[in-house]
A and B are shown apart, each in its own frame.
Chain A
């Protein structure tokens, strides 16, 4: 900048302030839109719109018993998630863990953690069994969902789940979720001008990664607290 003539400097100050360095004219649409795309047919929407909400919106007509669910489970799900949804190896644990959420090692399962039953139905149909998504019939999914409720001690073994009694089931941990409150509980604490000089007298190392020694050399095996 020091070699710029004064005129240029003044010009730069007037016009080349940060925003101009990166052009950002918003893209706009004409009144009434572009008329691009085509109307989706009712059948197309029905094929793709598979989502289920806590209020039961999206649930197909159908039903399934714990008993049938156990059978479907043992063929399609048990080899990863275990006979009782207890999880095998590192595959997800889907049952148990009640009362562990404030423990040192909480076990988050459908029974101990999930706030809504609709999530089980929605997820099992859209994503499971792993590698064969969207292959189960509504009755199968109701049955598996009933079985998962049973494995989590939420219903008895003679229970039959259907679109009609679905919203009567409340999940035990629903009340323990709350909306992100960082704006009130954290941001005010983390906006003070920090200390820059002579901030501490002593600094000690309190933890070492090499103690755990789980960093992969070439992506090798190890073991430690995971991401979930």
Chain B
């Protein structure tokens, strides 16, 4: 069957092409008069010729017309692109799930290529049995599926001193939202038997950074997962293949990738990523440590500097994302005039705890400049603060946990800029 089809194809194609060429003169003349729309100027090749065979792309990729939809980096942020970061193109996405290939990356010693056959998960420390699991062992534990956002604590960290980067990809793109399949961490810990003195857990990665974070035992036993799938398929290399920790609602750095070891202890370890980094320096020179939870936050993804309004006045779709490390987002408010008047946005799609939520606000644009903001409310009653309210409490040196309200200035031309307003 396959062979016959392949043999026939060229003949059929050339026949059709010949036929199309023969009729071009007559058809083109008629079409030009009937429509000024280039879509009608001629019969498009995809309407006439055969498309790709099913074996053209064994692992499918987006349309060539979407080639601009990419993670991007900001080279001046870090010393080199190995210990660095790239950003999710939020303005190109809709719904709540981030496609695997667009999930932002942050590694401290590059993305490790780990051979799953040689990957082990060790549990040691204050446990009854120190254990080693192969990937095959892990596949025999019960699994759960959950959708969670992962936000880097430094997301929007470049905006503390004022508007800096022009685009929600750069200001808010250190986030992704993925359905994880994984083993509840409590089941793995129970297998080893936590001793009563075991109050903390150290999670360690198998990459050359040997990434480590201390996690309090209550959280480990609550909703953490040891995940091996994202959006249904194996974790991507850059997301920790073959195994990563999922720490719902808490800062992304704790979601240790290439997870190789869990140690139970009676005290936190105060490692580099919880002392030198990921501590929040306040204006008075003192620093908060263990700022794990991500406060509620939102951003308008469209329009935004990378996604201007190109259609002029009239019906306009405003869209954005909201999330909270403490629960769901029952409500988002939107303003078109820099905060004089607010409107409740329309929430759309699944409302899951510690997951991104999608909101829309449809309005009739009068073609005049807009000052757009969104304000998330989470299920605990927390309302997203302004950037200035945060600065009053924290100063501008804390780098991390900037969840202040973002403003986009949409000009008459439809172009948008990252600004701040009084």
Give chain A's interface residues, CB within 8 Å of chain B: 18, 21-22, 24, 26-29, 33-34, 36-40, 44-45, 48-55, 80, 89-92, 101-102, 106, 108, 110, 113-116, 118-119, 122-123, 126-127, 130-131, 133-134, 176-182, 185-187, 189-210, 212, 214-216, 218-228
Shortest CB-to-CB span from B256 to chain A, Å, is: 13
Bound form: Cα–Cα A110–B277 in Å: 11
Contact status A36-B164, CB under 8 Å: no
A106 CB contacts on chain B under 8 angstroms? 281, 285, 397
- Interface pair A119/B272, CB less than 8 Å apart: yes
In the assembly, what is the distance between CA of A19 and CA of B108, in Å?
38
**Does the CB pair B129–A26 fall under 8 Å?**
no
| Contact call A226/B281, Cβ cutoff below 8 A | no
Given contact pairs A37-B132, A216-B72, A203 touches B167 in the complex (Cβ within 8 A): no
B399 close to A178 (CB less than 8 A):
no
Whether the pair A123, B281 counts as a contact (CB closer than 8 A) is: no
Stretch at the interface among B10-18, B48-56, B378-386: B378-386
| C-alpha gap A199/B389 in the complex (Å) | 16
Contact A203 B191 (CB under 8 A): no
- Give the CA-CA distance A130 to B143 in the complex, in Å: 36
Contact bitstring B17-54, A, C-beta under 8 A = 1, else 0: 00000000000000000000000000000000000000
CA distance A205 to B243 in the complex (A): 46
In the complex the two chains form, is B131's CB within 8 Å of A40's CB? yes
Please give the distance in Å from B255's CB to the nearest CB on chain A.
17
Q: Of the candidates A51, A113, A191, A224, which one forms a contact with B271 in the assembled complex, judged by CB atoms under 8 Å apart?
A: A51
Which residues of the other chain, A, contact B144 by a CB distance below 8 angstroms?
24, 26-27
CB-contact partner of B210 in A116, A133, A178, A195, under 8 A: A133
Contact bitstring B186-216, A, C-beta under 8 A = 1, else 0: 0100110100000000101000111010000
Which residues from B are CB-within-8-Å of A49? 124-125, 261, 263
Docked-complex contact A207 and B419, CB < 8 angstroms: yes
Q: In the assembly, what is the distance between CA of A80 and CA of B399, in Å?
A: 23
Interface residues of B in 370-394 (CB under 8 A from A): 371, 375, 380-385, 389, 393
Extra pairs beyond A51-B269, A189-B393, A209-B165 (18, CB < 8 Å): A27-B183, A34-B191, A44-B132, A48-B204, A113-B276, A116-B275, A126-B209, A127-B210, A179-B288, A180-B288, A180-B289, A187-B380, A191-B380, A194-B383, A200-B422, A205-B419, A219-B75, A222-B76
Check A202–B422 contact: CB distance below 8 A. Answer: yes
User: Known contacts A53-B267, A192-B383, A225-B160; is A27 also within 8 Å of B286 by CB?
Assistant: no
- 6 shortest interchain CB distances as A-B pairs: A27-B142, A203-B338, A101-B285, A126-B210, A102-B285, A209-B418
Whole-angstrom distance between the alpha carbons of A39 and B292 in the complex? Answer: 32
B78 near A212: Cβ-Cβ < 8 Å: no
Q: List 30 A-B contacts (CB under 8 A).
A: A36-B141, A37-B191, A38-B132, A40-B122, A40-B132, A45-B124, A48-B124, A49-B263, A80-B79, A90-B76, A90-B80, A119-B271, A119-B272, A179-B288, A179-B289, A179-B290, A182-B291, A186-B393, A192-B383, A204-B422, A205-B409, A214-B164, A215-B170, A215-B305, A216-B73, A223-B76, A224-B164, A225-B160, A225-B164, A228-B154
Cross-chain contact A130 with B109 (CB below 8 angstroms):
yes
- Least distance between A224 CB and chain B CB atoms (Å): 6
Return A186 CB to nearest CB of chain B, in Å: 6
Out of B160, B283, B285, which one reaches A176, CB within 8 Å?
A: B285
Residues in A with CB closer than 8 Å to B157 are: 227-228
Query: How far does the alpha carbon of A54 sit from the alpha carbon of B271 in the complex, in Å?
Result: 9
Say yes or no: A191 contacts B279, CB within 8 Å: no
Q: Does B313 contact A (CB under 8 A)?
A: no
Within 8 A of A (CB), among B339-354: 339-343, 350-352
For residue A131, which residues in chain B have a CB less than 8 angstroms away from its CB?
Answer: 109, 208
B277 and A18 contact, CB distance less than 8 A: no
Checking A115, A205, A221 against B421 with a beta-carbon cut-off of 8 angstroms, the contacting residue is: A205
A203 to B350, CA, bound (A): 35
